[in-house]
Structure 1
């Protein structure tokens, strides 16, 4: 029964504090404007919660309510867009001085309530005189750039694995016409930060001209703009059985699902990876924890993951299609691969004006891969943001890299708020459809606070591993 008076007293103190906050914000709007008052309100709320944690035992119901209201606040972009750039230019001299408020940490776990702060929490991790641009370039140098020797070793391992796998396919499936296996991907195009992305090992399927045609996914029962169907044609003149690929037909279409299952069994059970790894001086293991065809490679100096991708290339439509694990009606169809077009467009834009778009993409990948929440954003998500921003007529010199970084974060937050990130070369595809609503909320929440304190996004701790 003693708990009730304590809660009642706590509510009374909160009412008094809330009245003071409301009075402060009401007067702040007259001077700071709506955007400045919003920032002050968020900062005041953060201070209030820190005081509550330090002076009161935790209350489970209140904590849940606070967490819910704070997570919902990132979605209000009208507050966001006013925060980074409405400081000293629009405020009177007396109000334009920086307010030293404790910023919420993006990474460090909170200690128990009432615990004394450790000395390491009170000291800045870097020199206070560095600008965000300088910190960003230092982060790029220390945690994004991959040593040339490591890139060369990764390419050598991927190339050797490609040769060994191709020899196995010729022995195991001599009747199936596979093309030359080609390793590629961001690592080969200078677009990989650390080990964030897999080395792509394309296994081309050589289809007979005139016996196959490609159909857009929107013209099929799947109604999926990202997919294509590979239909068997000329059955009246060349009946089933004339093509070695006919054994993989489902309903008159070449099934990516059946081919994936064949390769998964072969890679997991038939290929002698211990012998191949011993020959190449590394350890190779097929990954069984994912539906993708992945090979985990461990060398004494580095690690990498090789993604084996079954590919169809059409000379008529200039399309590259990949066998990709999908559910539902699109399970037998093929996924449109736009990586080559995206990488080529970024390179062309940078060559046109000597820009830093590809460096910006590397920085975003480096930041996201080391963050426990942002790592859900893949290379593909971040490339769309850079492509959309890169088409704008703005400065792309190195001196503007920090500003472009913040603009990319702001653009990404806007896309998350709308739950819409259209594909640059296929606007009908929403790349955020692969994320659950709660994942979108947590990513937006982390980026929202990252935009308030950008240096926090460059945090480096035990969770970040620079594998390459």
Structure 2
């Protein structure tokens, strides 16, 4: 980029940014922030009836109270009202997801009793108390049981792909244990276990064969497969009466998983694309466990900071491409050099994370905490980085724009 984000904010935005109206949107958001009576509620529309004189002082006082709130107080209010999920919402979502998972596991065992699968489990941010704004998704882990003597994971660095998180699973000892010795030999492609073939079999069995109308009647919520998606995904509507009335959906992603040694490999076609024999090495569990261990050791607010950043990025269109993995790694890198993660330092660490993100965007590289040779910004275009960087730079001087 020829212009820095500082110059963009002080002089003028590039034609592309002006065309998008980002600068105007930011200034409108700043102005709107001082008029809201509560950050968690929209501004009430004026009543068609004449306002009574005795209500005007009350409204004026509310505006004045908001204006005198410090950023620390606003951030805490945002965390309480916009980030955290209610215990009831989480409980209902987890219970429904568990019931659906139980039905899928029973159906797979009856349809393919010879398929060696481990016990299916739910996983992801909903189970780890890291989901924000809405309880609307989770993962169903389908563990494939592979014979350790017949299958060997090949690290991404050792493959011709050269991608540290793209791994392969090679079939071994074919001269002594020919094809057919393992159930998963039917999914071989060029001597390697194919993530595409495994996903296709599970897709045909689960997505196309299960009696979803019957399951819908049993669970009293509408369950149906999402068609046309590279993921194996289910959509559930009507978890609660309020979610049914609002049309909100809950999603379960069915994730075929291989665990060999210390490696956890998943079939995520939306990430690996057209490589039919490639598996993705997930680092989510390691990142989540590391954050929890660090917070437990010093009663820190790393996870609180992460959840707040996730909510900010989810609520801000310019930042939605920053996901939990990006933000977790930023905080893990910060923890290497920052020791004060006390509750009183919450706002400081939040603002520091914004500054750190700007630095990584300027470099165009965010190294993975557990695999430094992986750039988590891979796949971002220059326009993506330009838009996110400009929004975050504006938030350095006016952090309240992130809490709207």
Aligned counterparts of 1:371 and 1:125: Cα–Cα separation in 2: 26
Match of 1:128 in 2: 67
Match of 2:15 in 1: 64
Match of 1:414 in 2: 359
Aligned pairs for 1:238-249 (under 5 A) are 238-249=177-188
1:443 aligns with 2:383: no
Match of 2:297 in 1: 352
Aligned counterparts of 1:443 and 1:196: Cα–Cα separation in 2: 25
**Which secondary structure does the structure 2 equivalent of 1:321 belong to?**
strand
1:426 aligns with 2:371: yes
Deviation at 1:288, TM superposition (A): 2.3
Match of 1:179 in 2: 118
Match of 1:379 in 2: 324
Which of 159, 168, 176 is 1:229 aligned to? 168
Match of 1:290 in 2: 229
Aligned pairs for 1:306-317 (under 5 A) are 306-314=252-260, 316=261
Match of 2:401 in 1: 456
In the superposition, the TM-score normalised over structure 1's length comes to 0.72
**Which secondary structure does the structure 1 equivalent of 2:377 belong to?**
helix
Deviation at 1:392, TM superposition (A): 2.4
User: 1:361-408 deviations in whole A, cap 9, x for unaligned?
Assistant: 000011111111211111111111111112323311111111111110
Match of 1:271 in 2: 210
Which of 247, 251, 256 is 1:305 aligned to? 251
Match of 2:40 in 1: none
Aligned counterparts of 1:177 and 1:330: Cα–Cα separation in 2: 24
C-alpha spacing 1:165/1:66, structure 2 compared with 1 (3 Å): closer
Match of 1:254 in 2: 193
Counterpart contact for 1:222–1:330, Cα < 8 Å: no
Deviation at 1:413, TM superposition (A): 1.2
User: 1:416-452 deviations in whole A, cap 9, x for unaligned?
Assistant: 1211111111111111113233222211122121222
Counterpart contact for 2:85–2:135, Cα < 8 Å: no
C-alpha spacing 1:236/1:281, structure 2 compared with 1 (3 Å): same
Aligned counterparts of 2:339 and 2:267: Cα–Cα separation in 1: 38
Match of 1:402 in 2: 347
Match of 2:138 in 1: 199
Aligned counterparts of 2:17 and 2:315: Cα–Cα separation in 1: 27
**Which secondary structure does the structure 2 equivalent of 1:139 belong to?**
helix
Deviation at 1:189, TM superposition (A): 1.3
C-alpha spacing 1:68/1:243, structure 2 compared with 1 (3 Å): same
C-alpha spacing 1:234/1:106, structure 2 compared with 1 (3 Å): farther
Aligned counterparts of 1:260 and 1:389: Cα–Cα separation in 2: 37
C-alpha spacing 1:300/1:247, structure 2 compared with 1 (3 Å): same
C-alpha spacing 1:356/1:327, structure 2 compared with 1 (3 Å): closer
Match of 2:147 in 1: 208
**Which secondary structure does the structure 1 equivalent of 2:28 belong to?**
coil
Match of 2:27 in 1: 104
Counterpart contact for 2:258–2:265, Cα < 8 Å: yes
Aligned counterparts of 1:42 and 1:175: Cα–Cα separation in 2: 62
Deviation at 1:274, TM superposition (A): 2.0
**Which secondary structure does the structure 2 equivalent of 1:152 belong to?**
helix
Counterpart contact for 1:199–1:305, Cα < 8 Å: yes
Deviation at 1:69, TM superposition (A): 12
Deviation at 1:198, TM superposition (A): 2.9
Match of 1:139 in 2: 78
Counterpart contact for 1:421–1:431, Cα < 8 Å: yes
Aligned counterparts of 1:108 and 1:388: Cα–Cα separation in 2: 34
1:160 aligns with 2:99: yes
**Which secondary structure does the structure 2 equivalent of 1:376 belong to?**
coil
Aligned counterparts of 2:190 and 2:383: Cα–Cα separation in 1: 37
Aligned residues: 366
User: 1:94-114 deviations in whole A, cap 9, x for unaligned?
Assistant: xxxxxxxx97235999xxxxx
Counterpart contact for 1:106–1:449, Cα < 8 Å: no
Counterpart contact for 2:156–2:167, Cα < 8 Å: yes
Aligned counterparts of 1:119 and 1:153: Cα–Cα separation in 2: 31
Deviation at 1:345, TM superposition (A): 0.4
Counterpart contact for 1:106–1:457, Cα < 8 Å: no
C-alpha spacing 1:200/1:107, structure 2 compared with 1 (3 Å): farther
Aligned pairs for 1:357-368 (under 5 A) are 357-368=302-313
C-alpha spacing 1:456/1:234, structure 2 compared with 1 (3 Å): same
Counterpart contact for 1:196–1:365, Cα < 8 Å: no
In the superposition, the TM-score normalised over structure 2's length comes to 0.83
Deviation at 1:134, TM superposition (A): 0.5
User: 1:70-114 deviations in whole A, cap 9, x for unaligned?
Assistant: 98x9xxxxxxxxxxxxxxxxxxxxxxxxxxxx97235999xxxxx
